[in-house]
C-alpha cells in the first residue's frame, strides 16, 4: 500500500491508458478459436462437483495442462455464466495488473521512474498485445505473466532474502500451473545473478535447484498432454531441430520488426519456410553480431546482454524446439516486449550520450537526455496506441476475426476452414461449402484435407435432409 501511495500517479496513468484503449473488449464475443474448448463446451467449468474439481486438477484442456487457468474459468462461469463480457473484463484486469507489476519491477531494476513508466505503458498499449487481451483463451498467458512478474520482483534483486526466494518460488509454481511457459523463470534469474548482481554461476544455480525441479516436473506433465496435433499451421511438425533453428532465426527478426513497427497483424501467420536460404544466412549473421556486441560490452554496460538473453529465454518455449502448431503469433511477444524496449531505450541512451560527448555536438549538449527520452517515448506510445485502436475491433467476433485473417493470410487452409465454420454458424451453409471446396484446391496436408472433406460431407448431407424426413 505504501508503494502504491508513493507511485499513485504513475499507476493511475497506466490504469487510465489501459481502460481507455481496451474497454471495448467488454462487448466482444467468444471466438470459435479455442474459446469453444476452454469455455463453451468445457464441462469441467460448469459445476463445483468433486469430479469436476478433480478433472481441473488433473486433466489437460485443449492439449494444455493449466489447472489454475481453468479454475478461473470455473469461478467466472459461476459468476456470469456464458456472458462473454465478464471473461473479457477479467482479461483486461489481469493486463492492468501486469502493467503495474512491470512498472514496479522496472522501477527497481533501472532506478528510473521515467524509463520504467514509459516501457510499462508501451507494454500495456502495444498492438501485439491485442490478441492476448481481447482473446479469452489467452487467459493462460495473462495469468502466468502475472505470477512470473511477481516471481521476478522477488528474485531479481541484489540483496534478496530467503523470504524473497520463498515467495519467488511460490509465485513460480502458480505461474507453472497457469501455463508451462513459466519454466523460463529460473534461467532468467541465473542470468540476472551473473550479469547484473555479479554472483557466481555456481551460487546462483544452487538457489534455482528447487524452482527448476518444479519447472521440469511441469514440462513432463505438459509434454504428456500433447497427444494430438490439430489445427494451426503444421508444415514444420516433424522437421529437424537444425531446420527449425534456421527458420527461428528469420522469425526472431520478424518479431523485432513487429515490436518496433507493428503492421499487418493477424491471428495466424504463414512465414516462408522454403527458398529463403539467403534470408537465413543474413539472419544468422545478424544475430551473431548482436550476440558478440552485447557480450563484449557486458562489463561496461551489462543491460543490453541481460535484455537480449531474457528476450530469448521468454521466446524459447514458442520456438518450436518442442513442437507446437504455429510458428509465430502476436501473443508470443506479450512479456518479451518488456526486455526488448528496456534494451532499446538503454542503447538509445548510450548512443545519445556518446553524441553529446563529441566536440561537434554543441546542439546536442543543449538538449537534455530526459527530453529526448520523453519525446521518443511519447512518439512510440502515440503510434502504438493508434495502431491498437485500429486493430482491436478485429477481435470483436468470429466474423471480423476470420474475415480479417483471410485478407492477410488467404492461403492458409486453417483460415479458410475457420471462415467456413463461421459462415455455417451464421446460417450461410452454401457459401461455407464453397469456401471449403476452394480450400481443397490449395492442396492442404492430409490432416486439413480430411477435416475439410468431413465438413463438406456433413454439411452437404445435412442440407439435403428435408423437414419431412
The pLDDT, as a whole number, for residue 274 is 83
CB contact at 8 A, 28 and 396: yes
**Residue 467, pLDDT above cutoff 80:** no
**Residue 469, pLDDT above cutoff 50:** no
403 within domain boundaries: no
Neighbours of 104 (CB within 10 A): 21
The pLDDT, as a whole number, for residue 2 is 82
Please check whether residues 444 and 326 belong to one and the same domain: no
Q: Which helix (H) or strand (E) holds 117?
A: helix 113-125
Spatial separation of the C-alpha atoms in residues 58 and 65, rounded to whole Å:
8
**pLDDT per residue as tens digits for the range 239-256:** 678 888 999 999 999 999
By residue range, what is the domain housing residue 240? 2-392
Spatial separation of the C-alpha atoms in residues 375 and 299, rounded to whole Å:
29
Please check whether residues 186 and 282 belong to one and the same domain: yes
CB contact at 8 A, 456 and 433: yes
**Residue 235, pLDDT above cutoff 70:** no
Please check whether residues 127 and 267 belong to one and the same domain: yes
**Residue 371, pLDDT above cutoff 70:** no
The pLDDT, as a whole number, for residue 435 is 92
Q: How far is CA 11 from CA 14, 183, 342, in A?
A: 5, 29, 19
Written as nine digits, the cell of 29 is 464475443
**Residue 166, pLDDT above cutoff 50:** yes
Spatial separation of the C-alpha atoms in residues 193 and 152, rounded to whole Å:
12
Specify the pTM.
0.92
Spatial separation of the C-alpha atoms in residues 88 and 90, rounded to whole Å:
5
CB contact at 8 A, 92 and 22: yes
Please check whether residues 287 and 176 belong to one and the same domain: yes
Q: How confident is the model over 105-127, as a mean pLDDT? A: 94
Please check whether residues 66 and 37 belong to one and the same domain: yes
Spatial separation of the C-alpha atoms in residues 127 and 130, rounded to whole Å:
5
400 within domain boundaries: no
Please check whether residues 148 and 181 belong to one and the same domain: yes
Spatial separation of the C-alpha atoms in residues 179 and 70, rounded to whole Å:
11
Please check whether residues 158 and 66 belong to one and the same domain: yes
- Sorting pLDDT into bands at 50, 70 and 90, what band is 221? confident
Written as nine digits, the cell of 247 is 527458420
CB contact at 8 A, 301 and 345: no
Q: How confident is the model over 448-467, as a mean pLDDT? A: 80
The pLDDT, as a whole number, for residue 360 is 55
Please check whether residues 349 and 212 belong to one and the same domain: yes
The pLDDT, as a whole number, for residue 237 is 58
12 within domain boundaries: yes
Please check whether residues 293 and 432 belong to one and the same domain: no
469 within domain boundaries: no
The pLDDT, as a whole number, for residue 466 is 45
CB contact at 8 A, 414 and 448: yes
Written as nine digits, the cell of 166 is 520463498
266 within domain boundaries: yes
**Residue 108, pLDDT above cutoff 80:** yes
The count of structural domains within the chain is 2
CB contact at 8 A, 248 and 284: no
399 within domain boundaries: no
**Residue 258, pLDDT above cutoff 80:** yes
**pLDDT per residue as tens digits for the range 49-66:** 999 999 999 888 887 889
**Residue 46: φ, ψ to 5°:** -95, -5
Q: What is the mean pLDDT of the chain?
A: 90
- Least confidently predicted of 172-176, 234-238, 455-459: 234-238
**Residue 389, pLDDT above cutoff 50:** yes
**pLDDT per residue as tens digits for the range 408-435:** 998 888 999 999 999 999 999 999 999 9
Written as nine digits, the cell of 177 is 500451473
Q: How far is CA 278 from CA 182, 249, 272, in A?
A: 34, 12, 12
The pLDDT, as a whole number, for residue 144 is 97
> Between residues 448 and 366, which one has the greater pLDDT?
448
Amino acid at each position: 500500500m505504501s508503494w502504491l501511495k508513493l507511485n499513485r500517479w504513475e499507476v493511475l496513468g497506466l490504469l487510465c491508458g489501459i481502460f481507455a484503449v481496451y474497454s471495448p473488449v467488454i462487448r466482444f464475443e467468444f471466438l470459435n478459436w479455442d474459446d469453444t474448448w476452454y469455455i463453451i463446451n468445457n464441462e469441467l467449468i460448469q459445476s463445483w462437483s468433486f469430479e469436476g474439481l478433480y478433472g481441473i486438477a488433473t486433466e489437460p484442456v485443449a492439449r494444455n495442462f493449466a489447472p489454475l487457468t481453468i479454475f478461473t474459468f470455473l469461478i467466472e462461469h459461476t459468476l456470469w455464466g456464458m456472458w462473454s463480457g465478464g471473461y473479457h473484463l477479467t482479461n483486461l484486469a489481469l493486463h492492468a495488473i501486469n502493467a503495474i507489476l512491470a512498472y514496479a519491477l522496472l522501477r527497481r531494476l533501472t532506478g528510473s521512474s521515467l524509463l520504467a513508466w514509459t516501457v510499462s505503458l508501451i507494454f500495456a498499449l502495444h498492438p501485439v498485445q491485442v490478441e492476448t487481451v481481447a482473446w479469452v483463451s489467452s487467459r493462460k498467458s495473462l495469468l502466468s505473466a502475472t505470477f512470473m512478474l511477481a516471481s521476478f520482483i522477488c528474485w531479481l534483486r541484489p540483496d534478496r532474502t530467503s523470504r524473497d526466494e520463498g515467495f519467488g518460488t511460490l509465485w513460480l509454481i502458480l505461474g507453472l500451473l497457469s501455463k508451462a511457459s513459466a519454466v523460463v523463470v529460473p534461467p532468467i534469474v541465473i542470468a540476472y545473478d551473473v550479469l547484473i548482481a555479479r554472483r557466481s554461476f555456481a551460487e546462483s544455480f544452487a538457489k534455482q535447484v528447487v524452482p527448476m525441479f518444479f519447472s521440469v516436473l511441469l514440462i513432463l506433465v505438459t509434454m504428456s498432454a500433447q497427444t494430438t496435433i490439430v489445427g494451426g499451421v503444421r508444415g514444420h511438425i516433424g522437421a529437424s531441430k537444425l531446420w527449425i533453428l534456421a527458420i527461428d532465426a528469420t522469425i526472431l527478426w520478424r518479431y523485432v520488426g513487429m515490436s518496433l513497427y507493428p503492421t499487418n497483424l493477424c491471428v495466424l501467420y504463414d512465414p516462408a519456410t522454403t527458398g529463403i536460404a539467403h534470408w537465413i544466412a543474413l539472419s544468422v549473421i545478424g544475430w551473431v553480431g548482436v550476440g558478440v556486441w552485447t557480450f563484449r560490452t557486458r562489463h561496461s554496460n551489462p543491460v543490453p546482454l541481460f535484455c537480449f538473453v531474457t528476450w530469448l529465454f521468454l521466446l524459447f518455449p514458442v520456438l518450436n524446439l518442442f513442437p507446437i502448431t504455429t510458428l509465430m503469433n502476436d501473443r508470443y511477444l506479450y512479456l518479451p516486449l518488456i526486455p526488448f524496449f528496456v534494451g532499446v531505450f538503454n542503447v538509445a541512451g548510450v548512443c545519445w550520450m556518446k553524441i553529446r560527448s563529441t566536440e561537434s555536438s554543441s546542439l546536442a549538449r543543449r538538449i537534455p537526455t530526459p527530453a529526448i527520452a520523453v519525446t521518443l517515448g511519447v512518439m512510440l506510445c502515440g503510434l502504438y496506441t493508434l495502431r491498437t485502436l485500429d486493430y482491436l475491433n478485429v477481435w470483436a467476433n468470429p466474423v471480423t476475426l476470420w474475415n480479417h485473417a483471410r485478407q492477410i493470410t488467404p492461403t492458409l487452409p486453417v483460415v479458410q476452414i475457420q471462415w467456413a465454420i463461421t459462415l455455417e454458424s451464421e446460417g450461410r451453409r452454401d457459401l461455407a461449402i464453397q469456401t471449403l471446396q476452394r480450400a481443397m484446391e490449395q492442396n492442404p496436408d492430409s490432416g486439413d484435407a480430411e477435416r475439410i472433406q468431413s465438413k463438406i460431407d456433413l454439411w452437404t448431407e445435412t442440407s439435403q435432409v428435408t423437414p419431412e424426413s
